[in-house]
Structure 1
Amino acid sequence: MRGIRAVGPRLAGVITGKWSAWLVLVLTAIASAGALMFGGEARSSTDSTAALPSDAQSAQVAELQRRLPSGQQNPALVVYSRDEAPLNPADREAIAAVGETFTQWAVNGQVSPPVFADDGSAALIAVPLPSDSGYERNGEVIDQLRAASRNDLPDGLIAQVTGGAGFSADVAGSFAGANTRLLLVTVAVVAVLLIVTYRSPWLWLVPLTVVGTADLVSNSMIAVVSRAIDMNIDASTTGIVDVLVFGAGTNYALLLIARYREELRRNADRRQAMRRALGSAGPAIAASAATVALSLLTLVAAVLANERAIGVAGAVGITVAALYGLVVLPAALTVCGRGLFWPFVPRPGQPEPTRTGVWARVGTFVSRRPVAILTGTLVLLALLASGLHDARLGLSRTEQFRVQAESIDGLQTLSRHFPAGQADPTVVLADETAADTVLTVAADTPGVVTIRPADRGEGLVLFDVVLAAEPDSADSYQTIRDLRERLAEVPEADALVGGSVAANLDSRDAAIRDLKVVVPLILAVVLLVLILLLRSLLAPLILVTSVVATFFAALGAGNFLFTGWLGYGGLDTSVPLLSFLFLVALGVDYNIFLTTRAREESRDGDTRQGIRTALAVTGGVITSAGILLAAVFAVLGVLPLVTLTEIGVIVGIGVLLDTLLVRTLLVPSIVMLLGRHFWWPSRLARHPAGPAPAPVAASLTAPAVAVTPAGRATRDRTAPRN
């Protein structure tokens, strides 16, 4: 046991040693360069159904459709119209002439003739493009097709390219450079907040450099993992992981530097100060990182592949960020020396302002009125959560972009002049021997406008089904369900219903299933880590409950903001689960930082004084960390998808609530009311007076150091040796 306990101090000694700290930095630089050189590109896929579970009907249709000629096509739809005016003969001639030029991009050079709307105000040309051309090539073709569609048109005639190929090109195009902008804005936000926090012209450079390097290395490691386990990584996943690494990594740096600065006021030897800081803050940081990483890994139980990818990639990113924060950052700070804090250099004998500042007064305020504060905070959280009363889950294709996209505009034009489902037909795939029966059953289904055979082969027949309802609306989803139910009554047909609308319905259903399965796993992981860390049952239950309450408050506030003020259609299907994951895993961090310090400060058995002291000494750094994390997540708003904006805003609101309300008022008021019973059933709860159990990670605490009048550090001979 002594040997195990000695590992921590020995590792801290290596990280902070006079020469070994330099060795740590050199080895890290070599390893980081190697990771960047050999990481390569992450695995990706252009298959729109790749994220769906294999037993989803739309995924099965997509797989079977690849065996048919139509499965090798991704249609682009060119829509011509005038502003609320019918097309004239010159328009029709120009449309027919331009349509002939589209053959150079079409599969087998075949383009359907123009289809004119019944009201005579719009025309539609379908251009079948190869489905395996990839995002980059598809984008190039769509750009060329858009340019050609506008050549020599009469004045006032508008051309818009939409359809599956157009939408894919706009998604890819909207992300062109978006992650670079995200990274630059994130770095700028972190830099500004670090400068404001430390009030030093160069201290901020050290944590920012360490965290930035960790982000680059984590992206390389994610690329390696994605190829090893056949996991697709898209641009949105990369953006989320960048935010996670910068947000969590900077939080770890803030906590460590704050404790290091505290120890520098007590120790003349900066290496000794860093060892003591690591001994105190290191376990809390490690526990926090473990909580977040393990919570992310619960997404492996999800059936949606994109959610599993976020879980695995995020866990890799958090692990790398924690390693750099606990190994590289302490070594860099030790090498740079005490002067790094200039002009506010911490020196032995200086008073600790945090114990008498604003947060100490907040602790005193809470201790005097715990019942009123507890009641008030719970009422506020309940009011914010009430914003969920009219929440709608799921966004249509036209609601997914924050920025203007031609494919969305074209889809809206189509819906005004053609049946709403014309732009995105539903696909029914069945056994060829039952084609007539399937045709009859599908045509009689309410909500179906037209159905026609579109392809045959391999003993299968494929029908294009045009729905009356707008794609991805509640009515379109109901029509899909009705089609599946009616066709299931024809067992000999083996009929399956797919297409984009069906795929979105399957994705929505899978997201709801994942929410029900993964949320309990996240709660179990967080609860287990807290039990092991605090050696208590009651305290972890209270902390987890407080974070869950914060989640519902943030989700309600976010839903009210999006639907009431910003005019969004609702919350996207993946938003509740991912927001819950980030808020519970990251939000509990601040409670970990607070309660581990409170446990450490409760050595005499006075828990109420311990929580006041913990709030006083951690209030400033945790508030800074929370504001920084909220700001970093808000940066997701620079990306073009509504989904990422919603996740960023909801997590940002939740983190601020956790930092400024729950950790500051709610949890301390509960501790004030419960006293030592907060730690039940640990020994700290059974001993109201006298020495309490050793604080968390006491085994990592270095020998006490006294400072002589001359400023020299000497070992306290009465202190135990590690």
Structure 2
Amino acid sequence: MHRQIAGRLTGRVTKWLVLLAWIAAFAVFGSLSAKLVDVQNNEASSWLPGSAESTKVVDELSETVDPNDIPTLIVYYRSGGLSDADLSAIEDQATELSDVDGVVQKTVFTPQAVAQLPGAPFQAQSEDGEVAVTSLTFNFGSDGWNAIPDAVDEVRDITQVDGVTVHLAGYGGQAADSAEAFEGIDTTLILITLLVVIVLLLFTYRSPVLWILPILSVVFAYSVSGGVVYLLAKYAGLTVNGQSQAILGILVIGAGTDYALLLVARYREELRRHDDRHEAMAFALHRAAPALLASASTVAVGMLCLVFAELNSTAGLGPVNAIGIGVTFLVMVTLLPALLVICGRWVFWPKRPAYGSDEPNASGFWARVGARIAKAPRKVWIITTVLLLACSLGLFTLKADGLSTEDTYTKEFDSIKGQKLLVEHGLQDNSNTVQVVANTDELDDVLAAVEDIRGLGTPTEPQQVSDTRSFFEATVGEDISSTKAFDIVQATRDAVHGVDGADARVGGGSAFYLDTKVASNRDNKVIIPIVLIVVLLILIGLLRAVAAPLILMGTVILSFGAALGLSSLLFKYVFGFAGSDPGFPLFAFVFLVALGIDYNIFLMTRVREETATHGTRKGSLIALGSTGGVITSAGIVLAATFLVLGSIPFVFLAELGVAVALGVLLDTMIVRSVLVTAINLDVGGKIWWPSRLDRGERPPGSEGSESERAPATV
């Protein structure tokens, strides 16, 4: 049945119908994909579940405090002190800033103006007279993320004083910097990734033409999947942010190129066995599609496990990438085969696979590696395991308790420079506050409870929220996402929660980040076991055994530990990163397990098929020799695509790219080729327990026919 379906997809007429169908899909969904950035939601508050304390505060204050307010600080600095002319210009600019679209409130803090503003905190001006601050509040409604870059550009045009350095800090400055970090993510990142893949394909195929077809296919896959995600984000409430869009593009291009490499390799082999290219593709697709389906299903299901996350941003990442993988699989088993048979053998020029020519697999590099492993397989897998365990010790250096604003990016943005000036000159960023909501009758006790909290500013005058509830704010004297700010928030919560009958809740900017960290830690504990169980069940169904899937899962976990351990050492001692985001271990785990198991699937499905003819031990050597080259190429391509994430000046994505790339290389070069093969050779037929697939090794000389020895899955 599979062969019939494969033949129909690549028939002399249907190949054109398939091409036309995908062109139509590209025309419809491609235009929607270009709008994906417009439906991104990068607000931290939208990532949190309704059960988070900071989310409850937002809900309570929705009628009193607009959650779309974006406090922003304009920091003016002149070494040696601001002149009277500087201060006059700053005050004049403040008047002009009132006309900027989105500005709803402003306060000027300068030596001249501070006395005219009753209640203005003295900390807002530096004692040495070198720094002055203008405080703005933007509000663009729910469109704040998209509108803030243009508004900030207008503010920068206005706030220019000769000889004075000007920075935008506060939440608005951070939002503008974050927007800049992800600017062009839908075009620049994809173009860089495609360029990297093109170079690797040129090296792999050694053809100036063949690379075009896989690249064209992944472009179709990315555009169509982006269009589908856009529709779900706009009409079904799917959370999409800059991170998930970046990872979607990388995953589609990387996985799509992998699938293309595997299919093209199998097609090239079949062209040597079949005179008619349509028949060759039918056989190739029939043999390769089941392994590709198992791979895509494992990745997609692994990603969908993320829907159990409390963080909406993490939960949204699952469906986004599952859609990407699903569409990519469909493209690679329909469009790519159609393009290959439409073009014919000439597309492999200058080394066209002629009918009847030999396939150079049995004597290649990986066949020689397998022969060496076979001499002492137990020694090989024990030594390899010990080395991977040693690499895993680097996990003790992993610090995943969050990053300050300064440490979040790989370069020093404008808001960070402004924040440093405020700290250096003894000023306080008054844009970062805690918001405390409590029962009005107990409000005095709540205020008394927070009086002595170190790092917390003087509370504002309380305001009514309802007939029975009131709230106040107090400035947090630390960076919004720093551990010190989290400590202040937690101390405030401990204090107000201890007031009997107050039903007090604490929210605000730092509270959002703290609740995000708590939710991330919870997601790590819940989702990682779910992914392991789901992937194990898929392997059991695919291989129809229990022992082999358990062994494979063990090797993947070992590979994950080694990759994360080595990555952690690189982060600390080479790149100088201060730590990691709390969600980093989960993201790295899901991607490494889902993608790492792919290569074991490609290898072990081939081993299983060869076992029926040659036995487990010889079948393992045949499988390694036949699949080694193409899987290694696929791993290098996937690793390179994930490394492109480092082009975004965002520490989380840079770390994720490095960890996944390193893990993929370990999987392809060591785990799949050395560790798994050595275990197969040592354990033999028992690896298929409880299946009786291999009831004993074949006698010497039991080679099987040429067709039996031909590669069957990749």
For 1:230 and 1:642, locate their aligned partners in 2 and report how far apart those are by CA, in whole Å: 28
1:593 paired to 2:602: yes
Tell me which amino acid in the other structure corresponds to 1:283.
Answer: P
Distance 1:388 1:516, change over 3 A: same
Match of 2:251 in 1: 244
2:436 aligned to 428, 431, 439, which one? 428
The Cα offsets for residues 40-67 of structure 1, whole Å up to 9 and x where unpaired, read as 8443335430001111111122233331
Contact 1:435 1:461 in 2 (8 A): yes
Tell me which amino acid in the other structure corresponds to 1:426.
Answer: V
1:410 paired to 2:421: no
1:656 aligned to 660, 665, 676, which one? 665
Structure-to-structure mapping, 1:490-529, within 5 angstroms: 490-529=499-538
1:382 aligned to 383, 389, 394, which one? 389
User: What's the Cα RMSD here?
Assistant: 2.4
1:452 aligned to 450, 456, 460, which one? 460
Tell me which amino acid in the other structure corresponds to 1:402.
Answer: T
For 2:502 and 2:559, locate their aligned partners in 1 and report how far apart those are by CA, in whole Å: 50
For 1:78 and 1:495, locate their aligned partners in 2 and report how far apart those are by CA, in whole Å: 33
Match of 2:22 in 1: 28
- CA-CA distance at 1:366 after TM superposition: 0.8
For 1:435 and 1:126, locate their aligned partners in 2 and report how far apart those are by CA, in whole Å: 29
For 1:193 and 1:566, locate their aligned partners in 2 and report how far apart those are by CA, in whole Å: 26
Contact 1:419 1:468 in 2 (8 A): no
Match of 2:586 in 1: 577
1:66 paired to 2:62: yes
2:496 aligned to 487, 490, 494, which one? 487
- CA-CA distance at 1:637 after TM superposition: 1.1
Match of 1:699 in 2: none
- Which runs of no fewer than 5 residues in structure 1 stay unpaired? 1-5, 696-702, 706-722
Structure-to-structure mapping, 1:106-145, within 5 angstroms: 107-108=103-104, 110-114=106-110, 115-118=124-127, 120-132=129-141, 134-145=144-155
- CA-CA distance at 1:91 after TM superposition: 4.8
SS in 2 for 1:129: strand
For 1:145 and 1:34, locate their aligned partners in 2 and report how far apart those are by CA, in whole Å: 38
Structure-to-structure mapping, 1:271-290, within 5 angstroms: 271-290=278-297
- CA-CA distance at 1:431 after TM superposition: 3.2
Tell me which amino acid in the other structure corresponds to 2:665.
Answer: L
Contact 1:452 1:465 in 2 (8 A): yes
SS in 1 for 2:361: helix
Match of 1:263 in 2: 270
Tell me which amino acid in the other structure corresponds to 1:32.
Answer: F
Tell me which amino acid in the other structure corresponds to 1:142.
Answer: V
For 1:373 and 1:367, locate their aligned partners in 2 and report how far apart those are by CA, in whole Å: 9
- CA-CA distance at 1:686 after TM superposition: 3.4
Contact 1:102 1:111 in 2 (8 A): no
For 1:491 and 1:41, locate their aligned partners in 2 and report how far apart those are by CA, in whole Å: 51
Match of 1:220 in 2: 227
Distance 1:384 1:453, change over 3 A: farther
1:103 paired to 2:98: yes
Contact 2:104 2:139 in 1 (8 A): no
Contact 2:305 2:531 in 1 (8 A): yes
Structure-to-structure mapping, 1:140-179, within 5 angstroms: 140-151=150-161, 153=162, 155=163, 157-179=164-186
- CA-CA distance at 1:232 after TM superposition: 2.5
The Cα offsets for residues 551-597 of structure 1, whole Å up to 9 and x where unpaired, read as 11111111111121111111112211111111100111111111111
Tell me which amino acid in the other structure corresponds to 1:645.
Answer: A
- CA-CA distance at 1:463 after TM superposition: 2.5
For 2:289 and 2:549, locate their aligned partners in 1 and report how far apart those are by CA, in whole Å: 20
For 1:372 and 1:282, locate their aligned partners in 2 and report how far apart those are by CA, in whole Å: 35
- CA-CA distance at 1:454 after TM superposition: 6.6
The Cα offsets for residues 91-122 of structure 1, whole Å up to 9 and x where unpaired, read as 54444444343333475565354431355443
Match of 1:618 in 2: 627
Match of 2:346 in 1: 339
Deviates most, 67-76 or 307-316: 67-76
Contact 2:41 2:145 in 1 (8 A): no
Match of 2:48 in 1: 52
For 1:292 and 1:109, locate their aligned partners in 2 and report how far apart those are by CA, in whole Å: 48
For 1:331 and 1:70, locate their aligned partners in 2 and report how far apart those are by CA, in whole Å: 54
For 1:109 and 1:472, locate their aligned partners in 2 and report how far apart those are by CA, in whole Å: 24
For 2:685 and 2:61, locate their aligned partners in 1 and report how far apart those are by CA, in whole Å: 65
Contact 1:543 1:591 in 2 (8 A): yes
Contact 1:181 1:638 in 2 (8 A): no
- CA-CA distance at 1:377 after TM superposition: 1.7
Deviates most, 218-227 or 312-321: 218-227
- CA-CA distance at 1:469 after TM superposition: 4.3
What's the TM-score once normalised by structure 2's chain length?
0.91
For 2:574 and 2:623, locate their aligned partners in 1 and report how far apart those are by CA, in whole Å: 39
Structure-to-structure mapping, 1:694-705, within 5 angstroms: none
- CA-CA distance at 1:384 after TM superposition: 2.0
Match of 2:638 in 1: 629
1:81 paired to 2:77: yes
Distance 1:110 1:190, change over 3 A: closer
The Cα offsets for residues 11-64 of structure 1, whole Å up to 9 and x where unpaired, read as 112112122222222222223323335668443335430001111111122233
For 1:109 and 1:488, locate their aligned partners in 2 and report how far apart those are by CA, in whole Å: 32
Contact 1:241 1:317 in 2 (8 A): yes
Tell me which amino acid in the other structure corresponds to 1:78.
Answer: I
Distance 1:46 1:373, change over 3 A: closer
1:304 paired to 2:311: yes
Distance 1:419 1:685, change over 3 A: farther
Match of 1:355 in 2: 362
Contact 1:70 1:455 in 2 (8 A): no
Distance 1:338 1:496, change over 3 A: same
SS in 1 for 2:153: helix
For 2:503 and 2:542, locate their aligned partners in 1 and report how far apart those are by CA, in whole Å: 54
For 2:125 and 2:614, locate their aligned partners in 1 and report how far apart those are by CA, in whole Å: 82
Deviates most, 636-645 or 411-420: 411-420
Distance 1:226 1:425, change over 3 A: same
Count of residue pairs the alignment pairs up: 686
Tell me which amino acid in the other structure corresponds to 2:148.
Answer: N
For 1:421 and 1:97, locate their aligned partners in 2 and report how far apart those are by CA, in whole Å: 23
